[in-house]
Structures are given as structure tokens and as C-alpha cells.
A and B are shown apart, each in its own frame.
Chain A
Amino acid sequence: MKLTPRNSEKFARTVIWSAAFGVIGLLFFIMAYILIKGTPSLNWQFLTQSPSDMGRSGGIFSTVIGTLMVTAVAIVVATPLGVGTAFYLTEYTREGPVTRIIRFSAESLAGIPSIVYGLFGFIFFVMYLGLGWSVLSGGLTLAVMILPTIIRTSEEAILTVPRMYREVSFSLGGTRWQTISGVIFRAALPGIATGVILGIGRSIAETAAVILTAGSSLRMPTSLFSPARTMAVHFYILAREGISMERAYGTAALMIILILLINVGANVLVNKFVARGR
């Protein structure tokens, strides 16, 4: 068969379409496997009862609360710090070698494997600061993990706001703070929100770092200093030890659904904000 442009076009089309279908098929396979095996377990009882008998029976309520608390700490700490730093770097300082070094460092730190942060968090928060295995240790470790990402995505979002906005605002007599809060923040919000959502997604899915900082206690966390087991950790332990496969699948299904909802919700919110300006 001659390698004419027509033939190579046909061949390429086949390959590319199959690749696309392959990826869809793969996703479908993975999601369907987890959801089919997991959603039968997702009833009201499962969600509102805590695990008992080392997880062999009961639900996953304490792990849901654990996940929420640890993620909350991470977001509450990382978002103001990250967004504020991004604003400072872009609005209050001039572009120069210093800001470039900071940006490069933020990029590199964003790329460090999460396990290294886990190691740091374990040694620093759990042992050195004496916080022990707690929501606080886990949340702070996660905060430190997502901070570079939030700085970076916020900075990118702020930088894509056209210079014209600032110039117009200044020319109309606005001060720097008024410009930031009134104009730039609103314009950069979709990008900032994406970064925060990414951070939330990462916090929910993180396992290795969380096991060693927030602990793996099954008890319902009652304070920032209690240990807490997140859903990801619970899934890992249940699946590995073979304690209860149906509960493991249920936990995984719930996690996936949660992350999906967050992503969809974020997209909807971002679109709404952008559309509001119209």
C-alpha cells in the first residue's frame, strides 16, 4: 500500500480516533469499576455512622469529618497566604532578579513530591513542635504542600489581567489598594479559584503525607489536636489489609464523587463570575 497523503491521512485518523476512544474507554473502565462496586454501599447509614470493629463494620462518618477538618485547615491557612503573596509579588514589587528567584523557587517547590512534605511535616509538626498526630499537623502539612501551587496559579491569574485595568483605575484616581480589591481581584478570581480548587482536590486525595501527620485513628476528631483519619487513608488501609472490600469501594466511590462535585461546582462558579461581568 503506497504511502500517499490520502493513505497516511486515513491511517493517522484511525490511530488518533482510537487513541481518543482508548482514553475514554479507560476512564470509563476505572470509574465504572469503582462506582459500580462502591455506590451500593453509599446509603445514609454508611455516611452517618462511624467505623467500628477496626473498620469491618459501620460507616465512614468519622473519616468524612476528618477529611473536611484537615482540608479546612489546609485551605484556611494556604489561601490567604498564597493569594496575598501573589498580590504582593505582582503589585507591590518590581520585576527583577529577586522576584524571578522567588517565582522559580515557588515553581520548584510546587513540583516537589508530596512525600517530601510529608516527611518534613512528620518531623517538624508531629515531633519537633509536639503537635502529635493531629488535624493541625495534617492540615498544616497540606497547607505547606499546596501553598506554592496557590501562589503560582494566583500569580498567573493576576498577571493575565490586562495592564489597562490598572492604568484606567489609577487614572480615575483609585489607589493601589482600591485597584487591587475593586478591579484586579475580581478579574483574577476565576484563576485564583481554580488554584484553590486544585489545592482542595489535592488535599482530599493525599495519603502518604496525611497518614504520618494526621494519623490513622478511627475515632471522630473532636478538636484540632485530635488525630483524624481521612477518607483516602481509610481507603488505603481497608483495601490493603483486606478488612472490608465493600467499604473500601464505598469510600473510594464517595471520594471520587466528592472531587467530581467540587470540580463541577468550581467550573460553574467560575463561569458565573465571568458571565456576571457581561
Chain B
Amino acid sequence: MTKFREKIAQRGFMLVALSALSALALITIFIVAEGVPIIGKVGVLKFVFGMKWAPTQGYFGIFPMIVGSISVTLGAVILGVPIALCCAIFLAEYAPALMRNVLRPAIQMLAGIPSVVYGFWGLVFVVPAIRNYLGGPGLSILAGSIILAIMILPTVISISEVSLLALPPLYKEGALALGATQWQTIRRVLVPAAKSGIVAAIILGVGRAVGETMAVIMVLGNAVAMPSSILDPARTLTTNIGIEMGYASGEHQQALFATGIVLLIIIMILNSVAQFAFRRR
């Protein structure tokens, strides 16, 4: 009887796994199948490096969007990672228990806020501030970077903190025993030791920033032209899909799937780098 149940369990799990994996495979194949023809037609170089995106006129160059994605993400990393690292160090090393119990749930709550709310908050506070003090329409790469920096804080903070806490206590004790101050210990011993975990945290944050759509649509201005400064409006790869997918058809739609392929490749590269960093622990 048990043997029978055993067989059923095994077949059952296999069936479940096969369905799930084939569903995921279906999606990948679907996206690739829809997107590859247009890349083939336009040419990989002209698609990825083409400067003009105007599908109704036949232009399928996504380079302005790539520049947009890179600038916004880079800005988010530059603005967010230092603060996130400081917070992670704070949580791991400096914080008294009381503050830790306040800050950790606070960061979890930050992670729980929907992205549309962030986007709206950005529209109400960040965009006017940029417009009044820095010029331009306010809807800009800078606004997007600020919002994304806030949004990736929870990810980077929590994973960096875990990496710092996972270090053998020997490292800290040894450094302190040799007379180093707390900051010296952190700076010269702990952070370098936790480097791979911190790098992984940053890459995960980058992945999140690259994938964000709604908040960015609301504050980035979505102009199709190549941005020339951080105060210019721009589009990212994701917002491009988000804005146009409702009405795109035919080649236009295929071009959006092709953009999806590009995003998939970017994520795969990021993941490989993250795994590589993790493995070097």
C-alpha cells in the first residue's frame, strides 16, 4: 500500500514539476519566438544601437531606451547604495537593540509599499522640487533615479546586513583585539570580507531597478528622444513596453517582445555575475 502511495507521490511531483517548468519554458519560447523575427528583420545592431524609436514610421532603434535604463539605474545605485550600506553597517554593528527593532521592520515596510504609490509620491514631491530648484520639466532621469534609489534600499540593506552578520565573529574580535577602532574594523576587515555578499546585494538591487515600470512611467517623462542630461525626460526599456503594449500590433508588438528579450539577456548577465560573486565567498 505504501509502495503504491510512494509511486503516486513521485509521479505526482514529477507531473507538477513538469507542468510548472513547461509553463515557464512556454513563456520564454513565446517571448523569443515573437521577438526574434523583428530583430532579424531590422538587424541586431540597428535594433540595439538604433537611435530612433518610431514604430509607426518604421524605426525600431532602442538605444535611447537603453541609455535611459542605464542612466536611471546608475543614478539609483550612486544615490542608494552608499546610504544602504551605511544602514546595513548600522544595523549590523552600531545599532542598539531598540533601534534595530525599529529599523528592521521599518525597512520591511518600505519594501511593502506598492510601486505606484512611490511613483505618485515622487510626482507630488520629487518632480516639483527638481523643476523648481534645478530646472527642466522635473519629469527627468534624476527623478527616476531618486525614486528607484529609495525603492532598492530595502533589498540592498537586508542582503548586505545578512552578509555582514554571517561573518565569523573571529574577524571582528581579532581586529578589535589588535586595537582597531570600530570604524577601522568595519572599513578594513568586515566590509572587505563581506564584499561578495554586498556585491550580490547591489546586483539584486540593480535587477530590481532595471525591472521597475510603474513608478518610472509616472516620473520619467517618457520622451522618445535620446536624453542629453539627467534633467531631461527619457524612457527606459521597461517603460517603453509599458506605455505601448496596450495598442501595439504586428511589427510594433514584435519589437516590444524583442525589447523583452533584451531585458531577459540583461537579467541573465546580472544573475551570472551575482552567482559568480557569491561563489567566490
Interface of A toward B, CB cutoff 8 Å: 5-6, 8-9, 12-13, 15-17, 19-20, 22-24, 26-28, 30-31, 33-34, 80-82, 84-85, 87-89, 91-92, 102, 104-109, 111-120, 122-124, 144, 147-148, 151, 175-178, 180, 201, 204-205, 207-208, 212, 232, 235-236, 239-240, 248, 252, 255-256, 259-260, 263
CA–CA, A103 and B210, complex, Å: 21
* Distance (whole angstroms) from the CB of A133 to the closest CB of chain B: 11
For residue B152, give the distance in angstroms from its CB to the closest CB of chain A.
12
- Contact (Cβ within 8 A) B242 A115: yes
CB contact under 8 A between A147 and B14, given known A113-B213, A116-B260: no
**Pick the contact of B94 from A17, A92, A176, A232 — CB < 8 Å?**
A17
Judge whether B211 and A112 touch: CB under 8 Å.
yes
Cross-chain contact A85 with B214 (CB below 8 angstroms): no
Query: Chain B residues near A255 (CB, 8 Å)?
Result: 114, 117
Stretch of B17-25, B47-55, B133-141 contacting A (4+ beta carbons < 8 Å): B17-25
Contact between chains at B114 and A23 (CB < 8 Å): no
Closest to A10 in B: B183
User: Which 3 A/B pairs are nearest by Cβ-Cβ distance?
Assistant: A84-B16, A113-B211, A19-B86
Confirm or deny: B229 has a beta carbon within 8 angstroms of a beta carbon on chain A: no
Closest beta carbon of chain B to A77's beta carbon, Å:
9
Asked whether, in the complex, the Cβ of B99 is within 8 Å of the Cβ of A85, the reply is no
CB neighbours (8 Å) of B245 from chain A are 115, 118-119, 122, 212
B44 at the interface (CB under 8 A from A): no
- Asked, given contacts A8-B183, A111-B271, whether A15 binds B86 with beta carbons under 8 Å apart, the answer is yes
Q: How far is the CB of B107 from chain A (nearest CB, A)?
A: 7
Q: Give the distance to chain B from A104, nearest Cβ to Cβ, in Å.
A: 7
- Taken residue by residue from 3 to 40, chain B's Cβ proximity to chain A (1 for < 8 Å, 0 otherwise) reads as 00110011011101101110110011011001000000
What are 15 of the A-B contact pairs (CB < 8 Å)? A12-B183, A20-B90, A23-B103, A26-B110, A31-B109, A33-B121, A84-B13, A107-B271, A113-B241, A116-B31, A116-B264, A201-B112, A205-B113, A212-B245, A252-B120
Interface assignment of B162: CB less than 8 Å from any CB of chain A: no
- Residue of B at shortest CB range from A24? B106
Tell whether, in the assembled complex, residue A89 and residue B17 are in contact, meaning their CB atoms are under 8 Å apart: yes
Are B109 and A207 in contact, with the CB atoms below 8 A? no
In the complex, B268 has a CB within 8 A of chain A? yes
Q: Are B102 and A116 in contact (CB under 8 A)?
A: no
Interfacial chain A residues near B86, Cβ < 8 Å: 15-16, 19-20
The reply to whether A115 and B213 form a contact with Cβ atoms under 8 Å apart is yes
B 88-129 to A, binary, CB cutoff 8 A, 1 in contact else 0: 011100110001001100111110111111101100100000
Q: How far is the CA of A15 from the CA of B103 in the complex (A)?
A: 16
List residues of chain A with CB within 8 A of the CB of B19.
81
Q: Please, how many angstroms separate the alpha-carbon atoms of A148 and B89 in the complex? A: 31
Q: Does B66 count as interface, using CB distance less than 8 angstroms?
A: no
Which one of A89, A116, A201, A263 has the highest number of Cβ atoms from chain B below 10 Å of its Cβ? A116
Minimum C-beta distance from B269 to chain A (A): 10
Question: Which among A16, A123, A236 is the interface contact of B90 at CB below 8 angstroms?
Answer: A16
Determine the distance from Cα of A4 to Cα of B99 in the docked complex, in whole angstroms: 28
Distance between Cα atoms of A33 and B118 in the complex (Å): 11
Residues of A within 8 A of B34 (CB): 123
Known: A113-B212, A255-B117. A88 touches B112 (CB 8 A): no
A165 to chain B, nearest CB (A): 18
Residue of B nearest to A23 (CB): B87
Let me know if B27 and A120 touch, CB within 8 A. Answer: yes
CB neighbours of B187 from chain A (8 A): 12
- CB A61 to nearest CB in B, in angstroms, measures 19
CB within 8 A of A205: which of B16, B95, B114, B270?
B114
Q: Of A12, A26, A177, A259, which is within 8 A of B112 by CB?
A: A259
Q: A119 contacts which chain B residues (CB < 8 A)?
A: 31, 241, 245, 256-257, 260
- Encoded as 1 (CB less than 8 Å from any A CB) or 0, chain B from 240 to 279 comes to 0110011000000100110010011001101100010000
Residues 187-243 (chain B) with a chain A CB within 8 angstroms: 187, 207, 210-214, 217-218, 238, 241-242
- Are B90 and A17 touching (Cβ within 8 A)? yes
CA distance A171 to B102 in the complex (A): 45
B21 contacts across to A, CB distance below 8 A: 85, 102
Q: Which of B13, B109, B238 contacts A113 (CB 8 A)?
A: B238
Indicate if the CB atoms of A120 and B213 lie closer than 8 Å.
Answer: no
Given B16, B30, B213, B241, which contacts A85 in the complex, CB threshold below 8 Å?
B16
Excluding A115-B238, A205-B116, A232-B114, 17 further A-B contacts by CB distance (< 8 Å) are A19-B82, A19-B83, A20-B103, A23-B106, A82-B20, A85-B17, A87-B13, A109-B24, A114-B211, A115-B213, A116-B31, A147-B24, A175-B5, A208-B217, A235-B114, A235-B120, A263-B109
